[in-house]
Amino acid sequence: MTANRPLRVAIVGAGPAGTYAADILSKTDLNVSIDIIERLPAPFGLVRYGVAPDHPRIKQIIVALANVLGRGDIRFLGNVNIGTDLSLQDLREHYDAVIFATGSFKDADLDIPGIDLDGSYGAADFVSWFDGHPDVPRTWPLEAKEVAVLGVGNVALDVARILAKHPQDLMSTEIPANVEEGLKASPVTDVHVFGRRGPAQVKFTPLELRELGQVPDVDVVVYPEDYDFDDASIEAAETNKQTKQVVKTLTDWTLKEPGTASHRIHLHLLQQPVEILGEDGKVVGIRMERTALQGDASVKGTGEFLDYPVQAVYRAVGYWGTEIDGVPFDDRRGTIRNEGGRVVDESGAQVPGFYATGWIKRGPVGLIGHTKSDAQETIANLVADSEALYENSQAGAEQLSPDNVLRLLKSRDVPVVEWSGWEALDAYERALGEGEGRERIKVVPRDEMTDIALGRD
C-alpha cells in the first residue's frame, strides 16, 4: 500500500468527539477519506440526546457540528451499528484506521443496599427518555411525590429541574408528545439533591445553578447546616472563579426566606447515601449519613444518619462507557484502553489501526472544549502513524472504495441514513415544531425516523 491513495478512516460515533476528530483530520496534510458511522439515524450524540430540552443555547453546538458534517468532504453513515451491521473485521477490511468516539451513555454503578428496588433509576436513562432517545421505552414511571437525586453535577440539576418544573414551562422546547404526557401526569412536589462534599466541591456550572433559581413556581431550598468549608474549600473559593460564583449563589440562597412555590428543589450537601429503603420491593425512602470535610476537601462519614421519605431515587453519579466486543476495555475506568488515543491491549502493546477519542478515551469528565483537545491528540498520533497504517492495512484495493461499504450494507439490508436523509428528518421535525410555534418536535421511534429520512411511506 502506498500514500498515492487516500487513507481510509472510519470514525465510530457522530457526537462532538467524532465530529471534531473528523474535522481536525480533514484539515491535516494527509490525503484522507473519512466516514463517520453512527448507530442512530440522527447525528450529534449527547448534544441531541443528553442535553436537557430547556437548554437551547447548549444545543447551538449542533449548528457547529452540522456545518462540519454537511460540508461534503466527510460522509455520514447513520443507522449503522458496529457489531451487528458491521463487524470489527469488516472495518479492518474496508478502512486503514478506525477511531472510536462512542462516548459514555450508561449510568455508573452505585453499590449501596436497595439500589435495585423498584423506583431506583439511573439519571442517564431518564435523560434519554425526556430527550426522546429512540432506544429507550416511550413511557417513564413518574409516580413519586418526593424524589431523591444523588449527585451534584449538571446532569443532577437537569434531572431535578425537569422533574420539578411545570410541564407547561417546557412547551416551547422540542420535547416529544409522549414526554409531555408523562410529565403532566407526574405528582412530584419535592426533589432532594444530595452531594457528599461541601459547597466548594459541587460540580454545577455557575450558569446552570443560577438558572435553577429562575424556574417559575419552584423554590430552591438550601440548608445552613449542610454548609461548611475547610482549608481546601476556602482556597478553592478564593482562587477559582467558577467555584467562587457557585459558592456565592449557594450562600445567597441560605439567606433567603422560605418561599411559597408549589414545587421545591432541596439542595443537601455533606451527606452520602448509605441505603435506599424499601417496602414490598418499592422505594419508600433513602438513608443518608452526614459527612465532615477533612481539610483537603475530602470527607468521611460522621456516623449520624438521616432518613428522607422518597418514592424514587435517581443516581447521577457519572456516566460509563459501553464495551465493544473485540476492543480492549478498561473495566475500572469505563473506557477503551489507550495511550494518547492509540488503543492498546492489556500488555500495553498498540492495537494497529485502532484509536479512541472523547469520553470513551478519557472518561466522562470535562466540557466540549476538552473533547477538542482529545481529538487533537488522537489525530496527531494517527498522522504520526500514517506510514505504518498504509503498510499494515488489511484493506484490499477494491474494498477501499467508499462505494464498497455502502454495497456491503445494502447487501445486508441495512437502511443507511446518509446526510441528505438526516436533512430530510431535520426538516420534518422543524415542520412539526413550526405548527406549534416551536423550533422542532423530535420524532422518537427509530423506524419512523428511518422512514422519514429515506423518504419511505
pLDDT band, residue 199 (cuts 50/70/90): very high
Q: Which of 298, 317, 336 is the last residue of a domain?
A: 317
Q: Which of 295, 317, 339 is the last residue of a domain?
A: 317
CATH number of residue 263's parent domain: 3.50.50.60
- 280 and 385: one domain? no
Q: Is the CB of residue 162 less than 8 Å from the CB of residue 142?
A: no
pLDDT band, residue 392 (cuts 50/70/90): confident
260, pLDDT greater than 70: yes
- 93 and 187: one domain? no
Exposed, middle or buried by CB within 10 Å (0-12, 13-18, 19+), for 287? middle
Give the per-residue pLDDT at 1: 44
- 53 and 123: one domain? no
Q: Which residues pair with 299 in a beta bridge?
A: 293
Half-sphere exposure of residue 207, counting CA atoms within 13 Å on the CB side? 3
pLDDT band, residue 369 (cuts 50/70/90): low
Q: Which three cell numbers stand for residue 232?
A: 481546601
446, pLDDT greater than 50: yes
- 76 and 122: one domain? no
- 189 and 328: one domain? no
- 17 and 144: one domain? no
Q: Which three cell numbers stand for residue 318?
A: 457519572
Give the per-residue pLDDT at 60: 80
422 in any annotated domain:
no
Structure letter (DSSP) for residue 193:
E
- 66 and 121: one domain? no
Provide the whole-model pTM. 0.92
455 in any annotated domain:
no
The number of domains in the chain is: 2
279, pLDDT greater than 90: yes
Domain that holds residue 389: 7-104+320-416
Interacting residues of 248 by C-beta distance below 8 A, sequence separation 6+: none
- 163 and 281: one domain? yes
- 342 and 255: one domain? no
Q: Which three cell numbers stand for residue 382?
A: 494517527
337 in any annotated domain:
yes
Q: Is the CB of residue 13 less than 8 Å from the CB of residue 52?
A: no
